Each structure stands twice: as C-alpha cells, then as structure tokens.
Amino acid sequence: MKVALFVPCYVDQFYPQVAVAALQLLAKLGVRAEFPPRQTCCGQPMANSGCEQAAQPVYRHFVDVFQDYDYVVGPAGSCVYHVRRHFDTLDQTPAVVRVRRNTVELFDFITRVLGVDQIAGRFPYQVGLHLSCHGQRGLHLATASELTPVRDGQLRRLLSGLDGLTLTELDRNDECCGFGGTFCVSEAAISARMGQDRVADHLRHGTQVLTGGDMSCLLHLEGIVRRRKLPLRVLHAAEILNGTLP
Amino acid sequence: MSSRARILAAVRASQPAPHSLPPVPTFRGDISAAKFTAMLEASGGRVVRLPGLGALAATVAGLYPADYRVASDLVPATVPVTCDTPGAELATLDLAVLRGAFGVAENGCVWLPEAAMLHRALPTIAQHLALVVPATGLVATMHQAYARLAGQPGGYGVFLAGPSKTADIEQSLVIGAHGARSLTVLLHD
Amino acid sequence: MSPPPDHAQRSELFLLDHERTTWHDETLWFVRQKRDRAAYATPEFQELRRLASDLKDHTLSRLAQYLEQFEAAALANGVHVHWAADAAEHNALVLGIVQRAGARRVVKSKSMLTEECHLNPHLLAHGVEVIDSDLGERIIQLRAEPPSHVVLPAIHLKKEDVGETFWQHLGTEKGLTDPQQLTEAARQHLREKFLAAEVAISGVNFAVAETGSVVVCTNEGNADLAIGLARVHIACMGLEKLVPRLADLAVFTRLLTRSATGQPITTYTSHFTRPQPGREMHVVIVDNGRSQQLGRPDFRASLKCIRCGACMNTCPVYRRSGGHSYDFTIPGPIGAILSPNIDMRKHASLPFASTLCGSCTDVCPVRIDIHSQLYKWRQVLGAAGLVPASKQYGMRLLSRVLARPALFRLGGAAARLGLRLVPHALSHAPGYNPWAIARELPAPPRQSFRQWYAHQSPPAHE
C-alpha cells in the first residue's frame, strides 16, 4: 500500500508539528507514509472565494503530485472534502477520479481503511472535541445533530479509547466555529463572534484541551484563545493520539 | 401576449427534465385517545371525555359560565348564527360549540369542515371554542387524515390544533392571539 | 439613510450590541432545538424529507401543466385567477380588485410575497388602508421596518421595543413589557380592523393543483378570521407553491411546523377552495423572477422552499447578524441563494455570508442543497466580476504561487520570517489585518514541515 501524506499548505508552514504527529502516528500503525515535496495546496481558498477557475492549475498540480498513490491521507477534513467534492470541475480523467476517491481524512483512514478503532495511550485531561463541519457534514465522519440525537464519530471513539481522557459535553455539540476559509477575514466580525462563542462553550463546561481533526478550525479558535489568554491548550487530535501532552 | 401566456411559456422553457411522482407510503401510528389528548394538550387545548352525546349539554353547561353567549347547533344556543349573521353580532359571542369531523392523534388537530361551522368566521371570532369529536374516529397521522377527505376538502375547512396563539414577542408563548382563547375537544364514544 | 453596501458591514452594526446579539443567537438556537426534538420524535422524518423533496422536484418538472390544472380547478370552483409577471403587475392587479370591490379597508395576513412586491406602499399610495394582522407583522408595520425572519418577523425586537411601539401607536401604558398584555392590546386593536375590513389578503403556503385549493397555515387564526368576515379574499402566491394532490399536503404539513417551530402542526391549517355564496375569492399567481430561477439548473432547487425558516434558525451567521443584515425580503441562507437571481450586483455579498458549514442543508425539510448553491453562486459572481477586485487579484496571484512548489516554499518561508520580524502591533493592526480584530496569528515556527521532513533519515522521497 503506497500512502502519501497530504499536508495542507497552512499546516506545512505554521503547524509542522501536526504533520509530524500524523506521520509518526501512521508509522506506529504500520504505515510508512511518504511526503511528496512538490505538493502545495488543494485550491480551496480560491474556490471558496468564487475564483474556482483561478484554482484549476492548483487542482491539476494536486492531481499530478498524488496520482500514483493508493491513498492520500490528510490531517484536515476540510481540504480532503474539497478534493473529493469540488474537483468535479476538472475533466474526470482516470487520474482525477483516482485521486478524488483515494484522498482520505487521517482518522477516516485509520478507522475505516486500517480498521483501527483503539489506539493505546494516556491523556489525563478533559478534552473538548471540535467537529469540523466539512469533516462532519461533508464527509460524514461524525453524526450530526440536525439528523439524529445520537452522538458518534470516528474521532470521538479514538479519543475515548485513551486512558484518563474525558470528553466535554457541550451546549452545542456541532456548531460551526466561524472560520469558514476566507470568511474569517471577509466577515471578520461575525467570524470572531462565532469563534468566541464556541470557545466560551468549552470553557463553561471545563475543557482543558481543545482538539479536532481540522487545523483550520483550530487555527481560528487558538487565535481567540491566545488573544484572550484563556486557560485552554489547543492541540490537533493527531498530536494527542501520537502521545503529545499539553 | 397576456401575462398568463408569457409566464406559462417561460415556465415551460425552464422546466427541468421529468421527475417521477413518488409513491407516498401510508405512515401509520398510534391512534389512541391518549396520544390525541397528549398532543392537543401540548398545543394548549383541553380534552374532556363524554360518556355519550346525551351528556353533551350538561357537560358544556358545567364547563362554561351560564351567562356566556353561545352559538351552536349541538347544544341550546343563545345566539342563532347562520352564514348571513353580521360580523358585529358574531363578535359578541363567548362560545361556539361545533361538531368536528375527526381528530388526528399525531398532532392533536381536528378537521372542521365548513358545513359544521354555521359561519366561516365563527370558529375564530368566538372567544372560546368547543368541538365535539367522536373518539372512535381518530386517525393516526395526516396521511390518513387526508385519505379521509378523499380529495374533497369542501369550500373551506380547517385542521385546528388548539387555541389561537402567538410567540411573536420575544418567543414568549401567548394563548389567545386573534382567534379563540381556548379550545376544548369533547371526545365522545 | 441607505444601509451599508455589504453583509459584513451590516452585520457589524448588529454586532455592536453584544448582549442583544447573544439574546438573538440563543433565542433562535432554542427554536432550532425545538425543531430537533420534533424531528427526532418523528420516526419517518428523514423519509418525509426525501418525499417532500421528490414531490417538489416532480412538481417543478411539470409546473406549467400543474399551474394550468390548478387554474382550471379554481375557475370551476368560482375563484377568479390572475397572473402577474412581476411585482408591479401583482400590485396593480390587487389594487384593481380592491377598487372594483369599492373597498378602502384591507387586512392582510402574513405573506412574504406581498413583502417582496412591496404591496403595502402601493395600496397606501392609492388611498387604501392596509393592516397587517399577524402580530409580528403588525409590530414591524407600526415601526415601518421590514421583517427580519420569514416565520418570526419581529424576532430582532425585544419586548421593551414592542412596548414602546404600542405606547406610541396603540395608546398602551408606557413601559408595558408583558407579552401577554401586549398581545391582548393588539387583539383588541385588530378586532376592530377585522370587523371593518372589506377585503382580506392572504399569502399561500400550498396550492393544490387537483382541487384548486389554497392552504394557509397560521397559529394566530388571523387569516381565517379576516377571510371569514371580508366580502373579498385575495390570495397571493408565487408560482412555485403548487403541490399535485390534496393528499400530498400530508407530507408538507407534517414537515412545515416541525421544521419551523417544533410544533407538530400549525394551529390553523386552512383550506380555501370555494368562496362563500355572494362573496369573491381571487388568486393572484406571481412569477417575479421565479421562471428565470427555474431555468438555472444549479439554482432551481431553491424554488422548492416552503418558507419554514429552519435554515435561518440553524445558521450561525444569521443568528449573529440578524435578518436585516441580508437587506432582502427573505433573509438567511435561503435568501442568500434566492437574492442573486433578483439582483446579482446588489446582493453579491450574500453568498459569501456563510461559512458553508452545511447545517442549513441538513435541516431543510425539502432537502435544498443550500450550502452547495451558496458555493456555486460564489463561482457565478466570481465569473461575472462581482467579487471585490482585490480578492480576485489576490486569488489569481495565490493560484500562481500554489501551482509552483518553488514559489510556495519561498512564499511560506517569507511569511513565517515576516511574522517573526514584523512587530506585533504592525502584523496585528486592525485596519490592515481583519484577522487580528479578535485573534492572534499563529506563532511562526522556525521550520516548515517540508524543511523538517527533508532532514529526516532515511532521506526523504525524491
């Protein structure tokens, strides 16, 4: 099985430790993932802004870089969703079809492809799980409150398997954090207010470590936590599952 | 070209490819009087069980003040109402007692056809409304309810669930917006 | 004074009042929770959504035929049927009916269509008194404001605002804030209007092709009371309101209020099929851009909307920006996909007023792919040059960088270096960096992941 690690552009530049954790976590599970260094970005920032046409060269570059892999694994539901869903604007060549099908979110890969639903480890903290909307409602990696009262999801299960970890019960289990790609600057005031409300929900219910599967949501929430100097650590779930302690 | 012709032509030119009409299953469910009662009470209504229609007049007399101005074709009325009764006269009514055709258990509503209303405005203009409904005729869901109408809704008819209400001020529920301030369903065997 | 030109700026006005924004958000979230409980309690809820979606898709695919069938059935019932291509024709038709009836006093129950067409100013300008009878609509009519929600038109107001308005216009006691007493005052005030009205105007929730009936759903009973008393009933409907058969209403009535407010059904679900002898009933069928939207394959599903407002209640942006921030008759996510069809330039910011979280799509009772349509409108607006030039230019530049790994490496390194070297006050200056109004930028690491990876042994790939 030939596996590529897809590292979103902003993770590569600003959160290298998340990609390191993803790589090491996969290695622990017996998967030696490669990082094709020519990779850049999935093109979502442009398409999200109404410039899908301008994003086409980026899409083609992505397909070119990853077409020879059995799986393209990314620690970011939103970017994975973009590739799977919105690369429909490319000519559907066999390479495009393959890359769209094989691009998989990290915890979906661990759970569904590797069949792993328990990772040994200890994390004696109260953890607040932030579900990324594209992972949850887009890729269906977790149940959604719009559809069912049942709370379940791959990441929720993996985290629950760690010793000492308790999950926070929130007032709003799956409300959007307000990042929204370029929304975070084009509608900065609303975006900030949404993020502040999300962080407050976690604080109100005792979250010590805020985590999730999508660094883009966490980048936004961490920015709020740091601005307000709040008593919360923000870690990507790959870091927690890889044994990083706050 | 008339607007009608222009609109229809524009619609025809824009319609998507044919999409088949889905068969709608008959969703069944609880048809108990208990379910109907619970749902109507949740909508602010009240259910009173009648042993039989013979007890109707006495029950109504026991439920409402004696000086109420009443319109009804089921119990002794103090104000005769027909479809020609002027609005000003209707506006003085305290109570209307009318026959509801059947109740729907899933949501506590009652089908009130025009023929049972005496006047179209009566069910909303009277301060209080009581509907006499057979307990044996309850249906489970709106699917069975519309099946009972068999494509014949009459000139005017209402599925009525509870008293008039609003929550337009700060989402605070207030009973008695414009229509009846209370709804009592008299369920008889 | 005209409102600011885009949604972001209009939202900032709403957000200025922190406490009220919190209240607005929490109140609508509470409505969303009531909707959830009603949906969970109905075992076939998801199946009903699929059926409703299919029924609407079917109806749209044969809309002309169903419109003709509806018209024929209505005419046979003694109902007058009128067709209006646009808002102006709709208003002229309604005024004509009122004038032919020799009427001066009109009461109107809730109708988003007549809001869309701005019927009230037209009637008033021709000497016709028109009173909105839905409590929320009456409140905002007295305040000369547009509705901020399709189901809860006055949800942007607090009871103190309503008390003030009623004190000014209805002569209630100053400082009255009890919703019960305020509602009672409106009841007394509006009873007089109901009794005096010669014409009752209503909206239409559903029109049944099979029987020629129009169905009006209210909780207050205001439509039934007005129509039951007035000599003339005018029902105004968008041409997308049709359902094929009477029995199809079962699917829609089961979904409408569960989605809207969490009630199992509206208090009054009223079927108007024939006028009472000696009275008149008119139906005005309005296009006003709908046939054009029907012709847009990516956006025609927006016409399936049954105006339940669930997408507004669930939208985390709407809850924090208020309905007026959309500056369109129908606010919220559904309004953001309907409005560009009417005026692409004016409403260009609305498809961007979303994080594309997708919650709207998942609560929609007729399964409109709202968030996908928002995404698609962005592309249409981008192609039409209607996104800000700075954004377009920036995105083209970004694309050139991201399609070239060497440039990307260089750009990323420069950004990290810049963040380290530039003083915080400058990198976080609110005038230049909207991110920084409430957030810190990430602390820039010394090394990117790719730099780290290149130094691992065994040597990295390539």
Q: What is the pLDDT of residues C267-311, one digit of tens each?
A: 999 999 999 999 999 999 999 999 999 999 999 999 999 999 999
Q: Which chains touch A (3 or more CB pairs under 8 A)?
A: C
Query: With an 8 Å Cβ cutoff, are B178 and C246 in contact?
Result: no
Most B-contacting residue of C224, C227, C341 (CB-CB within 10 A), to test interface: C224
B34 touches chain C (CB under 8 A): no
More confident residue, C458 or C326: C326
Q: Which CATH architecture has domain B29-188?
A: 3-Layer(aba) Sandwich (3.40)
Q: pLDDT for B171-186, tens place per residue?
A: 999 999 999 999 999 9
A167 contacts C411 by C-beta, under 8 angstroms: no
> Count of CB atoms within 10 A of residue C160's CB?
12
Q: Is the pLDDT of residue C396 over 70?
A: yes
Contacts of C388 (CB under 8 A, 6+ apart): none
Nearest Cα residue in chain B from C188: B178
More confident residue, A18 or C412: A18
Nearest Cα residue in chain C from A45: C395
A156 contacts A213 by C-beta, under 8 angstroms: no
Mean pLDDT of chain B: 97
Nearest Cα residue in chain A from C440: A223
pLDDT of residue A165: 98
- Three-class secondary structure of residue B50 per DSSP: strand
Query: With an 8 Å Cβ cutoff, are C246 and B2 in contact?
Result: no
Nearest Cα residue in chain B from C257: B107
Domains and CATH numbers, chain A: 3-113 (no CATH), 126-241 (3.40.50)
Percent of chain C with pLDDT over 70: 97
Which two tokens mark B49?
């069980």
Chain C from 8 to 27: CB within 8 A of any B CB: 27
Q: Is the pLDDT of residue C460 over 60?
A: no
Residue A37 has its nearest CB partner, among C383, C402, C462, at C462
Domain assignments of chain B as residue spans, ordered by start: 29-188
Please name every residue paired with A166 in a beta bridge, in sequence order, or none if there are none: A126
pLDDT of residue C407: 82
Distance CA C181, CA C132 (A): 19
Distance CA C302, CA C282 (A): 27
- Helices A188-204 and A215-227: crossing angle in degrees, nearest 10, is 80
C187 contacts C233 by C-beta, under 8 angstroms: no
Q: pLDDT for A202-239, tens place per residue?
A: 999 999 999 999 999 999 999 999 999 999 999 999 99
What Å distances lie between residue B84 and B126, C229, C231, C279, CA to CA? 16, 10, 12, 11
Which stretches of chain A are DSSP H helices?
Answer: 9-14, 16-28, 44-48, 52-66, 77-81, 94-102, 106-108, 133, 154-160, 183-186, 188-204, 215-227, 237-241
Q: pLDDT for C42-51, tens place per residue?
A: 999 999 999 9
In terms of Cα–Cα distance, which of C358, C326, C302, C262 is closest to C39?
C262
Q: pLDDT for C59-81, tens place per residue?
A: 999 999 999 999 999 999 999 99
pLDDT of residue C44: 97
Mean pLDDT of chain C: 94
B167 touches chain C (CB under 8 A): yes
Most B-contacting residue of C268, C287, C294 (CB-CB within 10 A), to test interface: C268
C103 touches chain A (CB under 8 A): no
A117 touches chain C (CB under 8 A): no
Identity of residue C407 = L
Which value, to the nearest 10 degrees, does the dihedral of the CA atoms of residues C392, C396, C401, C402 take? 90
pLDDT of residue C294: 98
C398 touches chain A (CB under 8 A): yes
Which two tokens mark B132?
């006499």
B176 contacts B188 by C-beta, under 8 angstroms: no
Q: Is the pLDDT of residue C3 over 90?
A: no
Among A16-20, A69-73, C277-281, C439-443, which is the least confidently predicted range?
A: C439-443
C293 contacts B10 by C-beta, under 8 angstroms: no
pLDDT of residue C99: 98
Query: With an 8 Å Cβ cutoff, are A48 and C7 in contact?
Result: no
Distance of CA B139 to the CA centre of its chain: 14
- Three-class secondary structure of residue C270 per DSSP: strand
Q: Is the pLDDT of residue C156 over 60?
A: yes
Q: pLDDT for A92-151, tens place per residue?
A: 999 999 999 999 999 999 999 999 999 999 999 999 999 999 999 999 999 999 999 999
pLDDT of residue C462: 39
pLDDT of residue A212: 98
pLDDT of residue C417: 79
Q: pLDDT for A50-87, tens place per residue?
A: 999 999 999 999 999 999 999 999 999 999 999 999 99
Domain assignments of chain C as residue spans, ordered by start: 42-288, 389-454
Which stretches of C41-142 are DSSP H helices?
Answer: 45-61, 63-76, 87-100, 112-117, 119-125, 135-142
What ipTM is given for this predicted complex? 0.98
Chain C from 144 to 203: CB within 8 A of any A CB: none
Q: pLDDT for B66-94, tens place per residue?
A: 999 999 999 999 999 999 999 999 999 99
Q: Is the pLDDT of residue C398 over 80?
A: no
Q: Is the pLDDT of residue C461 over 50?
A: no
Q: Is the pLDDT of residue C446 over 80?
A: yes
Distance of CA C402 to the CA centre of its chain: 38
Per-residue confidence band for C390, with pLDDT thresholds at 50, 70 and 90: low
pLDDT of residue B32: 96
Average pLDDT value for residue range C6-14: 94
Average pLDDT value for residue range B6-22: 97
C375 touches chain A (CB under 8 A): yes
Residue C408 has its nearest CB partner, among A34, A40, A195, at A40
Chain C contact set for B180 (CB, 8 A): 221
What topology does CATH give the domain C42-288? Rossmann fold (3.40.50)
pLDDT of residue C400: 77
Q: Which chains touch C (3 or more CB pairs under 8 A)?
A: A, B
Chain A from 200 to 219: CB within 8 A of any C CB: 219
pLDDT of residue C1: 58
Cis peptide before C458 (omega within 30 of 0): yes
Identity of residue A244 = T
Query: With an 8 Å Cβ cutoff, are B179 and C83 in contact?
Result: no
* HEC secondary structure over A182-222: CHHHHCHHHHHHHHHHHHHHHHHCCCCEEEECCHHHHHHHH
pLDDT of residue C4: 78
Average pLDDT value for residue range A160-165: 97
Q: Which residue has the tokens 């999200």?
A: A48
> Count of CB atoms within 10 A of residue C33's CB?
15
Per-residue confidence band for C410, with pLDDT thresholds at 50, 70 and 90: confident
